[in-house]
């Protein structure tokens, strides 16, 4: 039997982890970081969260959550018990035992990976490093980021990853708004730069997740994450492309999917829509394909899938244009009401939402665009700027030349929408029960 001997400092940290006295620092209090910070504090760890947005840091300290998966009671409990504090000052991380990096990994305008936030967080950690500390990157990124980008930055401290301090990658798997699977119940993947790093990271995550799955390296863990999301992106692209074909052939793609789903093996239903949103699914294919090019490998299949999904807002606008023309109207000058701007139903998250692209395209074509979303009070567009959600009144529905159902929130009154609107473009098949001639589906 092979026995892995951890560096002596890891034994001290492991005992603190099991006693839940280890001080935890979370960098980035967004959808991932805040949920993790609250969960970690709830089970007893003292947690300090670093958030460069001073408004968000102040809201955390006031017990006011700004993400759907953290309730007022959850946040106030850990703040009032002094288990969680938020700050804009990286210096507050001095003396922590565990640092978890949960910062954004967006795309540039040319859809290349932007690791500036990860690099800035790693650089800010350098003065805080000391022997025995554990650093974990959770930000979704391309395979190789931990060892090729984060590790060299951290080692400018003079300490060596895997020898003086533990370093690992553990991909976030949070699904905003999902009431069935939580941070606690979703298996956590961890991969360290050494077996000892993996073990100490595993020990930590075993405190917050029911199941922890260890892999052989951070790069494997990073690939696991992007593969999970590329898998979804590719299959969504497949059904979106099928939708375009069925449109030309005069076939009902929804009937085809529902019938295919009756097969008890070898088939998993995916559904078309106005595009893909959120942080991971629209972004990860570009991260993976960019990394692949370093190896003279062109991920054409993955890139094509991303292109198909990116084109769906244009298709929605095209369908809207055609539907308006059948009523003797044009997009230019039309009053268009968008229902739902979040990237998925029942959450307030608008990151990479296809609804925003649809709105921008319609504005560019001369339409007057308003929106209603019970979960999103305002959104920022390039033109005309920040706009606010309008009340969903009978007058607003009747006064719109076209209503586009972009996000099918559960608390919308769909019967009233169909009754009051003169034209509805349904991108989610939510109105399938209404076989009205003025309801147009993808």
Given 3-state DSSP classes, what are the helix, strand and coil percentages for the chain, each rounded to the nearest 5? 40, 15, 45
Would you say 97 and 24 are in contact if contact means Cβ atoms under 8 Å apart?
A: yes
- For residue 302, what is the enclosing H or E element? helix 300-326
Q: Which of 330, 334, 357, 355 is nearest to 409 (CA)?
A: 355
Distance CA 65, CA 32 (A): 13
Instruction: Give the phi and the psi of residue 48 in degrees, each rounded to 5.
Output: -120, 130
Distance CA 309, CA 286 (A): 12
Distance CA 349, CA 142 (A): 23
Q: Which of 375, 418, 367, 373 is nearest to 392 (CA)?
A: 373
Tokens found for residue 245: 């074909």
Tokens found for residue 111: 């859809």
Distance of CA 250 to the CA centre of its chain: 35
Distance of CA 108 to the CA centre of its chain: 17
SS (H, E, C) 113-181: ECCHHHHHHHHHHHHHCCCCCEEEECCCCCCCHHHHHHHHHHHHHCCCECCCEEEEECCCCCCCCCCCC
Q: Which of 356, 195, 165, 334 is nearest to 278 (CA)?
A: 356
Distance CA 14, CA 29 (A): 25
- 280 catalytically annotated: yes
Find residue 189's DSSP bridge partners: 213
| Active-site option among 125, 280, 332, 402 | 280
Beta-carbon contacts of 419 under 8 Å, excluding residues fewer than 6 positions away, are none
Cα torsion 153, 155, 156, 157: sign: positive
Distance of CA 81 to the CA centre of its chain: 29
Q: Where are the beta strands (DSSP E) in 166-296?
A: 166-169, 188-192, 212-214
**Catalytic center residues:** 280
């Amino acid at each position: 039997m092979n026995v892995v001997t951890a560096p002596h400092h890891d034994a001290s940290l492991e005992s603190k982890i099991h006693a839940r006295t280890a001080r935890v620092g979370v960098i980035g209090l967004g959808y991932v970081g805040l949920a993790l910070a609250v969960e970690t504090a709830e089970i007893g760890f003292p947690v300090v969260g670093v958030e460069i947005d001073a408004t968000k840091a102040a809201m955390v300290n006031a017990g006011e959550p700004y993400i759907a998966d953290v309730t007022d009671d959850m946040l106030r409990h850990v703040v009032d018990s002094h288990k969680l504090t938020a700050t804009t000052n990286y210096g507050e991380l001095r003396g922590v035992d565990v640092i978890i990096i949960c910062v954004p990994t967006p795309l540039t305008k040319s859809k290349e990976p932007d690791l500036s936030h990860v690099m800035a967080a790693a650089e800010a950690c350098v003065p805080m490093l000391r022997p025995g500390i554990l650093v974990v990157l959770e930000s979704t990124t391309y395979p190789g980021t931990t060892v090729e980008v984060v590790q060299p930055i951290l080692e400018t401290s003079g300490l060596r990853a895997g020898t003086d301090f533990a370093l690992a990658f553990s991909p976030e798997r949070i699904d905003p708004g999902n009431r069935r699977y939580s941070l606690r119940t979703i298996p956590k993947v961890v991969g360290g730069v050494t077996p000892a790093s993996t073990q100490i990271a595993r020990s930590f995550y075993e405190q917050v997740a029911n199941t922890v799955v260890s892999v052989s390296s951070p790069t494997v863990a990073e690939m696991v994450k992007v593969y999970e999301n590329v898998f979804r992106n590719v299959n969504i692209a497949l059904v979106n492309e099928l939708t375009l074909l069925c449109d030309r052939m005069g076939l009902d793609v929804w009937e085809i999917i529902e019938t295919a789903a009756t097969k008890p093996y070898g088939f998993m239903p995916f559904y078309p829509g106005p595009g893909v949103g959120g942080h991971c699914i629209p972004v990860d294919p570009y991260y993976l394909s960019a990394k692949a090019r370093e190896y003279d490998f062109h991920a054409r299949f993955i890139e094509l899938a991303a292109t198909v999904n990116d084109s769906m807002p244009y298709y929605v606008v095209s369908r809207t244009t055609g539907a308006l023309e059948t009523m003797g109207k044009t997009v230019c000058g039309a009053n268009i009401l968008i229902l739902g701007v979040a990237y998925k139903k029942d959450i307030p998250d608008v990151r990479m939402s296809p609804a925003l692209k649809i709105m921008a395209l319609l504005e560019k074509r001369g339409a007057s665009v308003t929106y209603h979303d019970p979960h999103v009070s305002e959104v920022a567009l390039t033109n005309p700027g920040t706009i606010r959600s309008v009340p969903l009144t009978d007058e607003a529905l009747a006064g719109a030349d076209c209503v586009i159902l972009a996000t099918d929130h559960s608390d919308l009154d769909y019967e009233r929408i169909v009754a009051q609107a003169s034209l509805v473009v349904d991108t989610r098949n939510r109105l399938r029960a209404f076989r009205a001639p003025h309801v147009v589906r993808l």
